[in-house]
Amino acid sequence: MTLSEFFAKCGDFMLKHGGTTYDVFDHVIKDDKKPWSTVFFTPYKSAPDFFYRAGSVVSGPVFLSLLAIELASVSFYLSLNSLFKLVTLNPQAAKTRIIDSTVHFLATIAAAFAAFVSPFVNFVDFIGAAVTSMMPKRDEAQDLRPAMP
């Protein structure tokens, strides 16, 4: 396993444990056309889903902060690598590394912002999902019946 594969797997692991905050960023980044109701306040599917959402209120900021630190370190490494490429007179590789470094730096800012807002987003979703789970399910046949006066 290469270092970049390791960082990619760590990043995926940390993102997936960000809770609903990860789902929101995933929805925005992919420019998903599905309604926001598929992201927020979905009823609990099982007891582990309940505990996962409850835990993500605390674990989300931790994992997203670790992700921000990882991205910052990769950005720093790529910046140093870019300087090395310039010293060894390889400007094209240096340009590629500095662009990658900039992208990782911007991702660091996004991950730090996500870490800051994740307790609020995850807590609001946790409470909203509890309310949605307690509401009676609507029957489709009930929706098709004409209203009685």
Number of domains in the chain: 1
pLDDT in tens, 31-43: 777 777 777 888 8
Q: What percent of the chain has pLDDT over 70?
A: 92
Please name the residues in contact with 117: beta carbons below 8 A apart, sequence gap of 6 or more.
Answer: 21
Distance of alpha carbon 88 from the chain centroid: 38
In a domain, 50, yes or no: yes
Q: What is the pTM of this model?
A: 0.81
In a domain, 118, yes or no: yes
Q: What is the DSSP string of the chain?
A: --HHHHHHHHHHHHHHTTTHHHHHHHHHHTT--S-GGGTSSPPP-SHHHHHHHHHHHHHHHHHHHHHHHHHHHHHHHHHHHHHHHHHTT-HHHHHHHHHHHHHHHHHHHHHHHHHHHHHHHHHHHHHHHHHHHHSPPPPHHHHHSPPP-
In a domain, 146, yes or no: no
At residue 14, does pLDDT exceed 70? yes
Range of the domain at 103: 3-135
In a domain, 31, yes or no: yes
pLDDT in tens, 100-109: 999 999 999 9
In a domain, 39, yes or no: yes
In a domain, 143, yes or no: no
Distance of alpha carbon 101 from the chain centroid: 20
Confidence tier at 2 by pLDDT (50, 70, 90): confident
